[in-house]
Amino acid sequence: MVFYEKHDRIQGNISLTIKKMKEEREYLTKEKFEQLKKELDELKTVKRKEVAESLDYARGLGDLSENAEYHEARETQANIEDRIAKLESILKNATIMSAESTHGEHVRIGSMVVLEKQGDKNNKKFKIVGSEESDMATGKLSNRSPLGAAVLGKKVGETFSFNSPGGTMTYKIIGIE
C-alpha cells in the first residue's frame, strides 16, 4: 500500500514524497469499523467530487502559477487522498473485536484494566483499544502506546515496568474486567 505524505512547500507547490505504509493489524470495535467505512465512503463520493469542482473553478480563473484557489484545492485534494489511503489500509488490516474475546485472566485488546502506578495509590482504569480508537481523556489506551504494549498479556497482581518519554514507569495490575 502506498500513500502520499505532504513533504514541504516550495514556491506554492506541494512536493509529495511516496512512503510505504506498514501493514499492521488494526484492532477496532464494530462501531469504529462502521464509522471509518462511512468516512471513507463520504471522502470517495462527496469530498472527491467537491474538490474536483473546486479545481475546475480554479483552473477557469487563469494563470495557475499565481492562483491561490488552485493551490488550495490541490492541497485539499492531496489531504483527501492521504486520508482515503490511510482508511483503506486500516479497514483492510482490521480485526473486529467482540465483547466475548475481551474476557479472560490476561490483559488483551478490549480488556478494561485497573492499574496502580508505583508511588501513587490512586488507581486508574483503562480500556485497551486499537490505535485508531485511543483517547486518554476517556480512558481508552492504545495497544501501541508504551503503557498499552507493556500491559498486554499480564495477569492480576503482576507488576511491570516500561520505558516512557518521562523515564521508567512501574505499574501493578489491580484488576481486569
What's the total number of domains in the chain?
A: 2
Out of 73, 96, 119, pick the residue that ends a domain. Answer: 96
Q: Are residues 83 and 147 in the same domain?
A: no
Rounded-to-integer distance, Cα 175 and Cα 155, Å: 8
Range of the domain at 135: 99-176
DSSP 8-state symbol, 98: P
Same domain for 66 and 109? no
CA 102-132-20 angle, 5° bins: 120
Please count the other Cβ atoms lying within 10 Å of the Cβ belonging to residue 142.
21
Q: Are strands 94-97 and 26-29 parallel, antiparallel or unpaired?
A: parallel
128: region left, alpha or beta (phi > 0 left; psi from -120 to 50 alpha): beta
Question: Per residue in 81-135, pLDDT tens?
Answer: 999 999 999 999 998 887 665 567 899 988 999 999 998 989 999 999 998 999 9
Tens digit of each residue's pLDDT (9 = 90 or more) over 31-82:
899 999 999 999 999 999 999 999 988 888 877 777 888 889 999 999 999 9
Distance from C-alpha of 16 to C-alpha of 167, rounded to nearest angstrom: 36
Picking from 71, 96, 121, the residue at the C-terminal end of a domain is 96
85 and 30 in a common domain:
yes
Same domain for 7 and 89, yes or no, is yes
- From CA 156, how far away is CA 108, in angstroms rounded? 12
Pair (47, 60) in one structural domain: yes
